[in-house]
Amino acid sequence: MEKKDLNWSELSFSYIDTDYRFSAVFEDGEWSEGELITSSQMSIHEGSPVLHYAQTCFEGLKAQTAPNGDILLFRPDLNCKRMASTTARLMMPSVPEALFLRGIEEIVRANAAWVPPHGSGASLYIRPFLIGVGENLGLRPAPRYEFRVFVSPVGPYYKGGGLSLIDLAVIDLDRAAPKGTGAYKAGANYAGGLMATQMAKDLGASEALYLDPAQHRYLEEAGSANIVVLMKDGTVVTPKSESILPSVTRRSVMTIAEDELGHTTEERPIDFLAEVDQIEEFAACGTAAVISPVGKIRMNDTWYAFHGNGEAIGPVTQALYDRLTSIQKGETDDPYGWTRPVEM
Ligand SMILES: *Cc1c(COP(=O)(O)O)cnc(C)c1O
């Protein structure tokens, strides 16, 4: 198979139009079989609940090429389960696991020419999403739903590329409410975050960092990435909160830290200002961000710096990144069975 003629190592995290997408429709209590289509456009009714009331949710995962040429998915079953929890919260029909996984496999296979080669530093980002469509006016669940999956070859999410330091800024805006939808990948959570991201950028950071919405005291997460910190006593800690999006990457990183790097790990509330002096390394993690070491955080006009005065990547963050990415790329053994080759 001929790969597309792209400059793989120069890709950024942006949309590239590929040949196929997958579409299935839910109507009258039933899912259609689902099919590959070529058009990147969608035609929907002007009253569709997705347009007015944000009845929409999404997922994100990556496919990477292994040294032997296999195309590997990373823990797609967890994305399916997370989408099911989101759809239940948003009164949407759940996408059956078989349909979800088949949609992903078909779309990767059909777009195999767009999957970046091994060693290019790029990967294929996969975006499954579900929207509520059809004639509607009042606030109620949609009469019809479309599940779509598209893909795009991508490079690094944050400017700088590969494993590079980023800075975060705590902004006086919340991403989620205490009993709201923060724990779900619901479209409604993200438009409200655009302004916080912009304000963080205006302060010289890459992204906003959120504190808990009830007390503005405990660490939550960044705009599209969870947080993992190394305390000075060697413990690896991730914030516990009901309004954080449960990241597949974070779960994997915590497992590696405990099982392979020998750290004690904890999921507990982290009182940011009270504990900041005890934090040695700070990292943001997610499918798009992978693991991004955080050098500095700005809060209330003060910058707090971590490992190496905020100028150096910490050794534990580096080790977590190396191990996670080598499993994802099929470069080492995968004792957990996290990767899954797409049948070609
Ligand atoms: C998608 C997302 C993450 C990362 O989750 P992964 O499963 O690791 O990709 C973290 N936070 C938010 C708000 C997200 O939307």
Q: Does residue 104 sit in the same domain as residue 60?
A: yes
Query: Could you tell me if residue 307 is inside a domain?
Result: yes
Nearest CA to ligand 1 atom 14: 224
Q: Which domain holds residue 172?
A: 166-328
Q: Which two tokens stand for residue 11?
A: 């890709």
Q: Which two tokens stand for residue 178?
A: 């205490």
Q: Does residue 240 sit in the same domain as residue 305?
A: yes
Buried b (16+ CB within 10 A) or exposed e, 98-128: ebbbbbbbbbbebbbebbbebebebbbbbbb
In this prediction, residue 1 carries a pLDDT of 78
Annotated catalytic sites, by residue? 185
Burial degree of 281 (CB within 10 A; 0-12, 13-18, 19+): buried
Q: Which of 77, 165, 168, 178 is nearest to 128 (CA)?
A: 77
Q: Does residue 192 sit in the same domain as residue 285?
A: yes
Task: State which ligand 1 atom lies nearest to the alpha carbon of 185.
Answer: 15
Rg (CA), the chain: 20
- Ligand 1: residue of 197, 226, 244 to mutate (most ligand atoms within 8 A of CB) is 226
Low-confidence ranges of the chain (pLDDT < 70): 159-162
Q: Does residue 180 sit in the same domain as residue 84?
A: no
Task: State which ligand 1 atom lies nearest to the alpha carbon of 249.
Answer: 8
Q: Does residue 149 sit in the same domain as residue 12?
A: yes
Query: Could you tell me if residue 80 is inside a domain?
Result: yes
In this prediction, residue 222 carries a pLDDT of 97
Query: Could you tell me if residue 160 is inside a domain?
Result: no
The H helix count followed by the E strand count for the chain is 8, 18
Percentage of residues of the chain with pLDDT beyond 70: 99
Q: Does residue 182 sit in the same domain as residue 323?
A: yes
Would you say the CB of residue 224 lies under 6 angstroms from ligand 1?
Answer: yes
Q: Does residue 119 sit in the same domain as residue 224?
A: no
CA of 288 to the centre of ligand 1 (A): 8
Query: Could you tell me if residue 161 is inside a domain?
Result: no
In this prediction, residue 162 carries a pLDDT of 67
Burial degree of 310 (CB within 10 A; 0-12, 13-18, 19+): middle
In this prediction, residue 158 carries a pLDDT of 72
Q: Does residue 149 sit in the same domain as residue 171?
A: no
Q: Does residue 147 sit in the same domain as residue 177?
A: no
Per the structure, the count of domains in the chain is 2
CA distance 243 to 119: 36
Would you say the CB of residue 284 lies under 6 angstroms from ligand 1?
Answer: no
In this prediction, residue 73 carries a pLDDT of 98
In this prediction, residue 163 carries a pLDDT of 84
> Which CATH number is 55's domain given?
3.30.470.10
CA of 5 to the centre of ligand 1 (A): 30
